[in-house]
Structures are given as C-alpha cells and as structure tokens.
Structure 1
Amino acid sequence: MKNAQSGKYRPYPKIDLPQRQWPDNTIDKAPLWCSVDLRDGNQALVTPMNLDQKLELFDLLLKLGFKHIEVGFPSASKVEFDFLRTLVERGLIPDDVTIQVLVQAREHLIDKTFEALQGVKKAIVHLYNSTSTAQRKIVFKKEQDDITALALEGVDMVKSRAASFDGEITLEYSPESFTGTEMEFAAQICNAVTARWGISAERPVIINLPATVEMATPNIYADQIEWMSRHLDNREHILISTHTHNDRGTSVAATELALLAGADRVEGTLLSNGERTGNVDIITLALNMYTQGVDPGLDFGDVNTVVDVVERCTDIETHVRHPYVGELVYTAFSGSHQDAINKGLAYQRAKSEPFWEVPYLPIDPADVGRTYESIIRINSQSGKGGVAYILEDKFGYQLPKKMHPEIGRIVQGITDVEGRELTAEEILGIFEKTYFEVPQYIEFVDMAVNSETSKSGIVTVKLTYRFEGEEITSTGQGNGPIDACRKALGEKFPHAFVLRSYSEHSCGEQSSAKAVAYIEIETEDFGAFFGVGRDNDITIAGVMAMFSALNRAYHS
C-alpha cells in the first residue's frame, strides 16, 4: 500500500462522550424493523425489479412480519409511482402496516409523492438532505445555515400537504451522510426539523441517523448514536432509526452497538442488498438476537424460501458462507468439527431441557427450516466421526465407536485420490462394498441352532460354509450362537481368531427392519478387522458379520 504513510488517510476523530453508557447495556428486545429492500435495495440492482418482482417481494416482507416497509421513491420515476398505486388500488397494504416513501426537499417531488400516496391509511414521508462536511464543501458548496434552510423548507411543504391528507402521515428526517457530519450540526438541524414539524406525543418524528458511508469502527457509530440521543430535543417523542451500510464490513456490529446506545428502529435489507457493499442484513441481525434468547419479531423459520424469493427478485446469488442462510453455513468438513457436532447432537437428543449446546452450531438449523442432512459432508479433510454420522443419519447404520477409525481411513483414502467431496450415496457405496461385497474367501451358507440349551448356558450350532471349493458342515458349542460358530469353524478353517467386540441394532422402518450386526475379530495371521452383517434374523446377521470380517482379513 504505497500511500499508507503519505497522509492520504487519517483516523476518524473520537466522539467526546463522557461516561458513555452503551458498553454496559444489553439488547433485550427487538427494534422496530423497516425493510428498505424495495427502495434502497432496488436502486442498487443492475436490473431494477419489475412490477411482478416487487409485488412478490412485498408479499414476502408482509409474511416475515415487517410493519414498516419503504416501498420506493414514487416521485423519481413512473415505475416507482405505479408500484405504489398498484399497492393502493389492489388493497394490498394491511391496516397494521405503515408504508414509507422517500423524497427530497423539492416542491414538485413532494407534490408527486402525495399524489402517489392518495388512499394510503398510514404512511411515513422520509425527507432527507445531505449534511456532511464533504457534501457541503464539494457537492453543494453551501454553509450549514443553507443546508438547514433547505431541510426546513422541505418540512414546511410536507407539513402543509399532510394537513389536508386523508390519512396518517409521520415525518422521518435523515441528515444524509450523518457519519460525516459534525455532531453539533447534526443535532442542530434535527432539532430544527422536529420543532418546525411541531413534535409532540401526538406527532412523533423518526430521526434516521444513517451510516450512508461506513467511515469508522462500530464503537464510533455507537458513540454518535448515544451523543445524539442526549442532545435531541423532545427525545421521548423521537424514534431514533439506524440505516447502516457495509463499506467497512461491520454494518451488523455497528447496528447492534447502536441499539445498545439507544436506537429504537433499524432500516436494512434482506441478505444485505444495497449500494456498494450493501445495507445491513436484517436476517443476520434478527437471528443474532434469536440466539441470545430475544424474540426478533420477524419470522425466519423458512430461510430457504426467503433466499429463493430474494434471489429471484434481485437476480443476485447468495454466498454459500452467508451467515445463517448460506448453503454451507451448517456444514462441517473438518474431522474434529464433525466429531464434536456428532457428539453434540447426540447429547442434545438425550437431555431433557431444550438449551442448545451443540459445538460449532450457534443455532439449531431446524429453527430456520434447514435440515440436518448437510451438516456433515465428507472430503479429504474429514474424519472418522463424519463418515459414521453420514451412515447413521442418512442410512441408519449405527457403527460402534471402535469401528469409526477403520471406516474413516477407508473413505479418506478415496477422497485423497478423488480430490473432491463425496456424496452420502457414494459413502454408502464404499461402506457396502467394503463390508458386504468383499470377495468370498470363506462363504457362509447356513446354520441351525439347537433349540435345547444346556443348563450351563452352552449353545450348540450346526454350521455350513464353503471353503476352498468344498461345502463343509461342522458342529460347535459355545456360550452363544456366534461363539459356537467360531468353534465350529475351528475344525477345518486354518486361521485361528478371537472375537473382540460385538454390537447390533435394527435398521429401517419397524415393519421391514433388518437386523445389523458388527463384529471385530483379531487373527494371528492378519490382525484385527471389523465385519458387518445384516439379515432378518439377528443371529444370522451376527454370523454373517463374522464371515465379513474373516474375508476382509484374508484380503487385507
């Protein structure tokens, strides 16, 4: 960065705020939310939304629970005007929803805006003008008094038209580029606006303090909000609203700190659409609150539908790592992460109280309409626990813990060669080929268990199997059918082995479930191996698992 030390940039000045209160506060309730997707979001699109797209997005905003919705800049173009008229003429604005329209302090624009509003029961007229030092010096070449006069002229025009308007009008004023405005001047112009409007309990005003450009760290914005809250006249009749952009990548943090500092209302968009790096993402803000036990007052229980609608209306793809909604945000490839998530989900299922305690998952995916199907996915970075999770979650195979390293090594060997992620079906195929389709060095044929067990618990079985081209039948006794089969094999099978572990479970729907058995053997010649068997009969499944392990050992 060749200009780093040249004086081209300088730190943002600190705000003089003795005994600031916001660092000790917590967010314990949701703000009043205002969606600006249809205005601020729409104006930033390569191809602005058409009427049908706007109507679809408006309907989504209503379903999500927004009560303030900025529907456009109706004096700016015919498309914007016609959209508002469509909402009115089709009766699409619920009685409990207030629409918001943006307008500059110019008489012909204000007249056009009120023409568009005819028939609306409740509306916010959002008046703005730029107040920052840079805008005054470079763009408008005006002094503070000139900028204040322009704002008051706009207030007078809105006030006169509101007086004869057949509906409820609330004034919102934005000192645009607030973050680049001197605090004293920002308070001065806002107080002048509210006084001219005639602020009272019956005539509250929304003062919107936008980070039109994000210029400093989030704590500076919080200081600015708290400073303004202390210096606004009639604070009890004012809703302080935020409208943050993401130029520094910290709009969410800035808005959260602003709420700590006393802001009452948040303007933003779904998925952070907006000029340059975008507006603050209301989904992220709302779900951040949700994870802290605060009801956000918006329903994001089906984020997949939200993403589908927003993408269709804006023609912007959502990043796979976008907080809470991206395709991969509930997915773990890392082996250690997979193991922790797997254990956490099991722990969550087993305990009686609902408090969410799953490592690496700050929110239950089910709460936002996501499934557990893609939480763990397998590539070359994955571990033994991830493979076991896929086999259990997708296909019902509950592998014993001791077996996880073995199947993990087998799958990882394939991912190392393939150099890509494996699907769940591919992992199942590897599992079945490894344990069910191994070449038959020794082949199980049949077995019969003597129905009479001796008083000592000894079981007798007749085992039939093929070995080296010969079908062999032999009898064995043991402390159970599997042990008896192992001893029956000892008559002619040349490789001695011992049983190290055994587990079983049912797999599938109850009416058609098969028994699945897992056996670990250790041989003098080949070492230790697991085998898996499945059958309608659990005893047969266990014996088949033993043969599976023997064949794997021989072909190792």
Structure 2
Amino acid sequence: MTRKIWVFDTTLRDGEQVPGAKLNLYEKLEAAKQLKKLQVDMIEAGFPSSSAGDFNAVKEIAAKVGNTDDVIITALARAVKSDIDAVYNSVKYAEKPLIHIVLGTSDIHVEKKFAKSKSQILDIGVDAVKYAKTLLPDVQYSTEDASRSDFEYLWATIEAVVKAGATIINVPDTVGYAEPEEFGKLIFKINDRLKNLNDQVLLSVHCHNDLGMATANTLSAIKNGADKVECTINGIGERAGNASLEEVVMAVNTRSEVYQAYTNINTREIMNTSRLISSFMGLDVQVNKAITGDNAFAHSSGIHQDGLLKSRDAYEIISPIEVGLDDMELVLTARSGRHAVKNALEKLGFTQLTETQFEGIFEAFLELADAKKEVYNHDLYVIVENYYTEHDIHNQDITNYSDNFFELMDLQVISNPIFPSASVKMKKADQILKNSAVGSGPIDALYSAITEISELDIKLLEYNISSVSRGKEALGKVKIQVEYKGEIYTAKATDTDIMKASALAYINAINSIVVDHLLPVK
C-alpha cells in the first residue's frame, strides 16, 4: 500500500539564510506563488520575529498565497512567547496556518548553547507548545540537532510535547551528521513509539547536506516511516544546504516500488521553480546537479548518444518532460559519434546523404567541434553547404542557406557609469551590418545593438557568466536564455574576451531562431 508523503518547503526560510540570498517582498511573494503551483503541501514563509520585513512578507504570503485550503502556511519561532506571537500574527491570515517551534535536544545545544538543564529545556518546550495551542490548532515541534541527541531524552521531549498538543514532530539532522542507515533506524524507533502514542501526529524530517547525504537520509527516513519531508529548491540552505526537494520527489516517483509512497508535487513545475529561485537569489545551480542542473538531461558522449537513439531507457531513467523540460538534449561536441550527428542532420532534412558525403561532413564537423566546443544546428547548415560547394554538388535544399545566418566580425564596448555604449560589426551573406546602441550597462548596450541588426523581437531571459580556466588568459563562458515567439532558446560561447563571448552566445541564439523560424521552406 502506498502512502502520501507531505512535502514541506523551507526555501523561503532555511534557503534564504544563505549569505547574499535575501529576497525582497515582491520576490518572496512570487516565489511562494510558484511553490503553490508546484503543489507543495506546506510553505515555511520565513522567520517573522527576525525583522519587520520578514514579518510583513510572511503576512502577505499567508493572505495572498495561503488564501485557499490546498496549502499550509507556516513560519519559524524559537520557544519563546514573542516569537510565537510573531508567527501567529503573520500566518493567521492563511486558510490553513501552522506554528512551527524549534528547540534543541542534543547535549551540545542544551549545555553549551542554552546553558540549562535538560529538564529546564524540556519544560520550556512544553510550555511553548501549550501556549501556541491557545492560538492555533496545528503546531509543529522541531527537536533541533536530534541526530546527535541522547535517544531517551529525545523521546521524552517528543512524548511531552505531543501530550501538550503538538500535531507534527520534526526530527532534524541539523548539521548533516547522520548517515542513512543510522538515521533510518532512529526514525524507525521514533515512528514505532509515536504511532503507539498518537497515530494522528505526523513524523517529519529535516536533513542538512554537510556530508552530502541530505537526500539519502531523507529517503531513508521515508522508508522507515517518516510522513513528511522538509526540503528546499535546488538544495539551498545553511552551509552546504538542505535536502533537495526535486531529488527527493523524483526518487520517490521513479522508485515508487522501493518507497511505497507518493507526493502531490506537480513535477512539471520543477524546472520553472528551480529557475525562478536561482534567478531571485542569484545562486547558480551546479551544472551536474541531479534533476535541475544544466547537464542533468544533456548527453554529449558518443556512446551514450548512440544508446539513447536506439532506446531511451539505455541511459535515461527520467524523461526530461516530467520535470518541465523539453525533450532530451543531444549536445553536439567533439565527443559525439556518427549516429548523433547523422540524427541531427536528418532532423534538419538532410536524409539523402551518401556514405561518402556523410563521412566528409562528419570530418568537417569534428574540426569545428574541436575549435568551437559545442556545435549548433546553424553550424551544421554551414558545414553541409561548404561541403557541397567544395565538391561542386548542386542541391536546392541547401544552396545559400548560410546566407541567412549572422556572423560576428568586430565589436567595441565602452563601459562607464554615465553612457555605456556598444558598436558591432556583423556579416550576413555579402552584407556588412553595423550598429551602435546605448544601454543601462555594457551588456545591455551590446545586445541592443545586435538585436537591432537581427530585426528580431527577442527577449533576454537569463545571462550567466563563469570562468572555465584560471590565470591571465582565463576563458570566460557565457550562457544565455532568450525568448522568441514564446519559445525558449539557450546558447553558450567561450572566449578569453568576455564581451566577445557574450556577443557570440547571443548570435548563436539568434542563428538558432533563424533555423527554426526564418529559413526558406524546403
């Protein structure tokens, strides 16, 4: 029998504790709206006693996102009356509000952080729950640093706060100290006793990633009786972060026969949520991160591409469509094999190539791939046309197609706080196109100049810059996302001159749009 796992998202509280990731009111509200679209069961909207701004943000989320009964809105309180009052007065505007109280149970916390006796801390926790119950019927109690606590004291605390009225018991691995087998055993023991004490109380876990085991510990807890999991989008959070919501959810979905459980998460909103949070918080997702990393569903190895083209399940256990992406991406690089390149050419309409012609084109592809790192569809058109020209092959399907593509010839960018400007020189067929523009910054000016030359209504959605090497001659990589007629295009470029890389990435995106929308009909 499968059971529901409640998903508690703490991106807006624990996730926002990442240095530099502070959100303003508008951003918090928009993020909460997206979390609701994702269909999380509970949103922890903040820590209202920490500041007036956080209080107001929680209040707005409660009123505008928690105005229906399909999501619970909560916020964090220490086990003190003023904190509990702050949570109550901010979340009470939701249809389904919850007060979340946290208090340590490990010897380290009791003796060193609070400098009190265990019985004093237990009494403080019980009194906090009793007070919270006078305000709201639903109260969650978190036993901070539970994984390093003496078990009998931990259980005595849980038993006491449940009798005081707590409706959810949360067991945190606060510093990521636990490992899956021992954490699973801990949850099993607590679950066994808790269900005998009060089977209506939900058992929850909150795992941190200090040793890289937050997701594994969370999944082990599910197998051992946890009813609820606390996670963040992209795994952000204090120090090394929290259990990643998308990893936990997709593991439960993909291996449902193992976990005998399900969630209510709308998985097709995972990528939208990931991108929104990443953009608002200014925290890039590592490219090889499970589920939401750029490379999670991209395949460049020739062996893998060949296997995928023969059977999707050879190297793919999750369809990218399930998490809100387009279909699988076969990235054409120097490591791509013949099968992948031939497949890409056939998708562009080149289905009648002889074996000799294909081998010649593939050789040219490898030369370009070695120089350019990643090859786009418009590059394939140019390769095929050049091959036809060199071998005096006449074919209406390809002749002059490259005349539709743009090529960067030169650029000049002036960056200053008063008048940022850019001039570009581009080539299209035999035309030399020049333009200059000003902008709010050098990249805005550069992209405005290029956009005017292209005469396309393009909207820049995302611009990312990173270093791919070190030293004075470091290579800078630019990755962008643009929108054209409702379609999203991603492009990249690398160069020691970051302005040139920015221009090349943008022109790669434009040429991809040309391939899809503006080439003559065959």
Give me the TM-score of the superposition, normalised by structure 2: 0.70
Cross-structure match for 1:300: 267
Change (3 A) 1:133 1:393: farther
Cross-structure match for 1:24: none
Match of 2:205 among 221, 233, 242: 242
TM-aligned CA deviation for residue 393 of structure 1? 3.2
Paired residue type of 2:175: V
Paired residue type of 2:324: G
**2:54 counterpart SS class:** helix
Paired residue type of 2:206: H
Q: Distance in 2 between matches of 1:398 and 1:303?
A: 40
Match of 1:365 among 314, 320, 326: 320
Q: Distance in 2 between matches of 1:254 and 1:148?
A: 26
Change (3 A) 1:306 1:116: closer
Paired residue type of 1:228: I
Q: Distance in 2 between matches of 1:443 and 1:301?
A: 46
| Structure number with bigger Rg | 1
Paired residue type of 1:219: E
1:350-499, aligned counterparts within 5 Å? 357-372=312-327, 375-395=329-349, 397=351, 407-416=361-370, 418=371, 420-434=373-387, 436-440=388-392
Q: Distance in 2 between matches of 1:438 and 1:282?
A: 54
Paired residue type of 2:274: V
**2:49 counterpart SS class:** coil
Paired residue type of 1:415: A
1:328 aligns with 2:295: yes
Cross-structure match for 1:218: 180
Cross-structure match for 2:436: none
Paired residue type of 1:297: N
Match of 1:158 among 126, 132, 141: 132
TM-aligned CA deviation for residue 288 of structure 1? 2.1
TM-aligned CA deviation for residue 258 of structure 1? 0.6
TM-aligned CA deviation for residue 392 of structure 1? 2.3
CA contact (8 A) 2:18 2:236 kept: yes
CA contact (8 A) 2:32 2:61 kept: no
Deviations 1:205-238 (A, max 9, x none): 1000011111132111111111111233524122
Match of 1:39 among 4, 7, 13: 13
Change (3 A) 1:385 1:191: same
Paired residue type of 1:82: N
Paired residue type of 1:129: L
Match of 2:152 among 175, 181, 184: 184
Cross-structure match for 2:466: none
TM-aligned CA deviation for residue 103 of structure 1? 0.8
Q: Distance in 1 between matches of 2:345 and 2:364?
A: 14
Deviations 1:347-367 (A, max 9, x none): xxxxxxxxxx52211112223
**1:361 counterpart SS class:** coil
TM-aligned CA deviation for residue 89 of structure 1? 5.0
TM-aligned CA deviation for residue 108 of structure 1? 2.3
Cross-structure match for 2:239: 276
TM-aligned CA deviation for residue 250 of structure 1? 1.6
Give me the TM-score of the superposition, normalised by structure 1: 0.66
CA contact (8 A) 1:385 1:404 kept: no
Q: Distance in 1 between matches of 2:299 and 2:355?
A: 20
CA contact (8 A) 1:380 1:419 kept: no
Q: Distance in 1 between matches of 2:162 and 2:215?
A: 28
Q: Distance in 2 between matches of 1:270 and 1:126?
A: 20
Deviations 1:472-495 (A, max 9, x none): xxxxxxxxxxxxxxxxxxxxxxxx
Q: Distance in 1 between matches of 2:88 and 2:64?
A: 18
Change (3 A) 1:296 1:96: closer
Gapped runs of 5+ residues in structure 1? 1-26, 163-167, 198-203, 345-356, 445-507, 515-556
Cross-structure match for 1:289: 252
Cross-structure match for 1:83: 57
Q: Distance in 2 between matches of 1:414 and 1:223?
A: 55
**1:86 counterpart SS class:** helix
Q: Distance in 2 between matches of 1:140 and 1:207?
A: 21
**1:323 counterpart SS class:** coil
CA contact (8 A) 1:223 1:261 kept: yes
TM-aligned CA deviation for residue 438 of structure 1? 2.4
Deviations 1:229-272 (A, max 9, x none): 12335241221001111111121111111100000001111111
Paired residue type of 1:437: T
Deviations 1:415-450 (A, max 9, x none): 33x16222222133213322x22244x989xxxxxx
Cross-structure match for 2:224: 261
Cross-structure match for 2:511: none
**1:75 counterpart SS class:** helix
Q: Distance in 2 between matches of 1:296 and 1:402?
A: 53
1:175 aligns with 2:143: yes
Paired residue type of 2:180: P
Paired residue type of 1:364: S
TM-aligned CA deviation for residue 404 of structure 1? 6.2
TM-aligned CA deviation for residue 179 of structure 1? 0.8
CA contact (8 A) 1:172 1:206 kept: yes
Deviations 1:152-188 (A, max 9, x none): 22123223x32xxxxx521111110111111111111
Change (3 A) 1:109 1:369: closer
Q: Distance in 1 between matches of 2:76 and 2:84?
A: 9
Cross-structure match for 2:399: none
Paired residue type of 2:345: L
Q: Distance in 2 between matches of 1:376 and 1:173?
A: 47
1:343 aligns with 2:305: no
1:229 aligns with 2:191: yes
Paired residue type of 1:80: D
Q: How many residues align?
A: 395
CA contact (8 A) 1:376 1:389 kept: no
**1:290 counterpart SS class:** helix
Paired residue type of 2:339: G
